[in-house]
Chain A
Amino acid sequence: MKQYVAHVTVTLRRSILDVQGKTVEHALHSLHMPALKDVRIGKHIELHVAAPDKDRATELVDDACRKLLANPVMEDYSIEIRELADTGVPA
C-alpha cells in the first residue's frame, strides 16, 4: 500500500448563481482591482488515502465525492492527488 494525499475542490455548478463569489468580486472591484473577475467560492477538502496505486486512490476519492463530499445537484468537484513521500513507517 502506498499513501496518497488528495485535495478535493468543491464549487457550486456554473449554472447556479454563486452569491458569495459575486459579493467578493464586488469587494475586489471596490479595492480598485478591476482585472479580477469571475470569483468562485468553494470548499477545500484534504484527505489521505491508502491505495496500491494512484489510479485506485483517485477512484476511491472520486467515489467519496459522488457519495458524500459533493452534491451533484448543485456542485462540481475536482481532485488533485499525489503520493506522499515514504516515511519509512510500515503501512
Chain B
Amino acid sequence: MKLGVVTFPGSNCDADARHVSALAGFEVHALWHKDTALPDGLDAIILPGGFSYGDYLRTGAIARFSPIMAEVIAFANNGGIVIGICNGFQILCESGLLPGALIRNENLSFVCKDVFLRVESTDTAFTNTCAPGSILRIPVAHGEGRYTASPDVIEELERTGRVLFRYVDANGAVTPEANPNGSLNNIAGIINANGNVMGMMPHPERASEAILGCADGMSVFTSLVASLSQQQAADVAI
C-alpha cells in the first residue's frame, strides 16, 4: 500500500508522518509541493502539520494553491484517501475539500499539550480499529485550531455522523474545559460526505509509539491499513 506525504515550505511534521506511516506498513513516498503528478497507484495522501508559507494571510491559504494541490483535489474527488493533520486540516478547509474554517484559538494562545479525543464514528477508514466511544490521548499544537462553520454546516456534520473526533475530558465528557481552542461543539476532526477526506487538529503521528509515552494515535494509521486492505481484497475478488 502506497502513501504519500506532501511537504510544503514550512511543513514540520512531514518526517513524523512518513515515519509512522512506514511503521504502520505503508510504502511511503515523499511528495513535494511543486510536484505536478502523483506516484502511480497511490492509496492515500497526508497533508502534514506545520506552518506552510509561514501561515501568511491565513493558515493554509497559500498552500492551497501549491501546484500539487490540484493533484490532491483531483485524487480526493476521485475517491482517494486524504488526511490533513493540523496545518493539513487548515489546508483542506481552505481548498474546499472539507467545510468550515479554523480560526485563532479562543484564548488567543498557542496550545501545545495532550488532549483527550472521543471517537464519534467507528465505521470510517480512519477509525475502524477503535471501539465505539473510545477515548484517545493525542497532543495538539496550534494557535489557530478553533473550528467554525455556519450553523447549517454544523447541523449537517452532526446529523450525518461526520464529526469524527471531539475534545472531551479524561472520562469522555464534552466540557468547555476540555476544549483547547473554542471549537464549535468541541469538534477536533471531521470527514467529508464521501468519507474519504479527513481533517483533524490533534497530531496522531506524535503519539504512535509506546516509547514516546503514548501510542493511541496509531489507531488512525492501523484503521487506514485495515480499510485499504479490505478494499483491495474486495477489488481482487471482483
Q: Which residues of A contact B (CB under 8 A)?
A: 12, 15-17, 19-20, 23, 43, 68-69, 71, 73-74
List the B residue with the shortest CB-CB distance to A41: B104
Q: How far is the CA of A16 from the CA of B147 in the complex (A)?
A: 11
Minimal Cβ-Cβ distance residue in B for A43:
B57
What does the 1/0 interface line of B49-67 toward A look like (CB < 8 Å)? 0000000011001000100
- Whether B108 and A19, one on each chain, are in contact in the complex, defined by CB atoms closer than 8 angstroms, is yes
- Which chain B residues border A71 with CB–CB below 8 Å? 58, 61, 94, 101
| A9 CB → nearest B CB, Å | 14
Q: Is B11 an interface residue when CB atoms closer than 8 A count as contact?
A: no
6 CB-based A-B contacts, threshold 8 Å? A16-B103, A16-B148, A19-B104, A19-B106, A68-B61, A73-B93
Q: Which residues of A contact B103 (CB under 8 A)?
A: 12, 16, 74
Report chain B residues within 8 Å CB of A16: 103, 148
Q: Which of B61, B93, B148, B149 lies at the interface centre, i.e. has the most chain A CB atoms within 10 A of its CB? A: B148
The 5 A-B residue pairs whose C-beta atoms are closest, nearest first, are: A73-B101, A74-B101, A19-B106, A74-B103, A19-B108
Q: Which chain A positions have C-beta within 8 A of B100?
A: 73
Residues of chain A lying within 8 A (CB to CB) of residue B101? 71, 73-74
Interface SS majority for chain B = loop
- CB of B230 within 8 A of chain A? no
For A23, give its contact among B94, B108, B149, B182 (CB under 8 Å): B108
- In the assembled complex, which residues on chain A have CB atoms less than 8 Å from the CB atom of B99? 73
> Looking at B58, B61, B182, which has the most chain A CB atoms within 10 Å of its CB?
B58
Cβ distance A12 to chain B, nearest Cβ, rounded Å = 7
Judge whether B232 is part of the interface by a CB distance below 8 angstroms. Answer: no
Q: Is the CB of A20 within 8 A of B148?
A: no
Q: From residue A71, how far is it (CB to closest CB) to chain B in Å?
A: 6
Q: How far is the CA of A56 from the CA of B34 in the complex (A)?
A: 32
By a CB distance below 8 angstroms, the chain A residues around B149 are 73
Please, which residue of chain B has its CB at the minimum distance from the CB of A68? B61
Asked if B61 and A19 sit within 8 Å, CB to CB, the answer is no
Nearest CB in chain A: distance from B80 CB, A: 24
Q: How far is the CA of A15 from the CA of B149 in the complex (A)?
A: 10
Contact between chains at A74 and B65 (CB < 8 Å)? no
Q: Which residues of A contact B150 (CB under 8 A)?
A: 15, 73
Which residues does chain B contribute within 8 Å of A43, judged by CB atoms?
57
Once bound together, how far apart are the Cα atoms of A74 and B149, in whole Å? 8
A21 to chain B, nearest CB (A): 11
Residue numbers in A under 8 Å from B94 (CB-CB): 71
